[in-house]
Amino acid sequence: QQPVQSPQAVILREGEDAVINCSSSKALYSVHWYRQKHGEAPVFLMILLKGGEQKGHEKISASFNEKKQQSSLYLTASQLSYSGTYFCGTGEDSGGSNYKLTFGKGTLLTVNP
Amino acid sequence: DSGVTQTPKHLITATGQRVTLRCSPRSGDLSVYWYQQSLDQGLQFLIQYYNGEERAKGNILERFSAQQFPDLHSELNLSSLELGDSALYFCASSGGQGRYGYTFGSGTRLTVV
């Protein structure tokens, strides 16, 4: 089951904040976040695991609400380099060697000067 | 360079033909995943291999097949190609334990004419 991301697109001015949400109808073990720039491969940002702590990476952080099966990605004081499409990927099992991510359709983030 | 190598980068072929896409995972990663990315569908999971064995299957067509070799490189075979198979095909690798992010290759852009 594909997770649902919102919003589908967002336009910011440099320095503004944004929140991207990811919601699943299934119980989740993990949520991954990736950023993909046009014509390039997705790049891993962070992973949040069931029972784990909120993660942060410079001015980008994320939370994972296991009960609601939701995750949010927070981008603060956005920079031009943050532009791209953000994907969440959800994993339903507890890991091991049988593990796959199901990705949402993505959120297109555009940061303007 | 992400450490995941995909060849070829571009492929143009006619309908009905067969092609093979190749992926070498990042050193030490045992899991290889194949994803198809088209404009309207996002990243669609095709298949996962772990240390030479198929471990998870997604919406992979019967015309498509894959395998992972003893040296851990993987090949995705697409046959009886149709116009709708035109897409970006990504390979990703990970430690395979569900606690690690994916490292994506740069992708193979397949155009079926």
- Within an 8 Å CB–CB cutoff, is residue A104 touching chain B? yes
CA-based nearest distance A32→chain B, Å: 7
Cross-chain residue pair A103–B51, CB shorter than 8 Å: no
Mean pLDDT, consecutive 10-residue segments, chain B of 113 residues? 93 98 95 90 90 90 96 97 96 79 95 97
In this complex, which of A41, A44, A94 lies closest to B106 when CB atoms are compared? A41
Residue pLDDT, tens place only, A38-94: 989 999 999 898 776 666 667 899 999 888 899 999 999 999 999 999 999 998 765
**What pLDDT, on the 0 to 100 scale, is given for residue B11?**
97
Report how far apart, in Å, the C-alpha atoms of B63 and of each of A34, B17, B41, B81, B85 are: 29, 11, 19, 8, 10
CA-based nearest distance A88→chain B, Å: 10
**What pLDDT, on the 0 to 100 scale, is given for residue A50?**
79
**What pLDDT, on the 0 to 100 scale, is given for residue A97?**
55
Return the H-helix or E-strand segment holding A91: strand A84-91
- pLDDT top residue among B41 and A112: A112
Confidence at A95, pLDDT banded by 50, 70, 90: low
**What pLDDT, on the 0 to 100 scale, is given for residue A71?**
94
Confidence at A98, pLDDT banded by 50, 70, 90: low
The beta strand positions in B1-113, using DSSP E, are 5-7, 10-13, 19-24, 31-38, 42-50, 53-57, 64-68, 74-78, 87-94, 103-104, 108-112
Structure-block tokens of residue B105: 């290759």
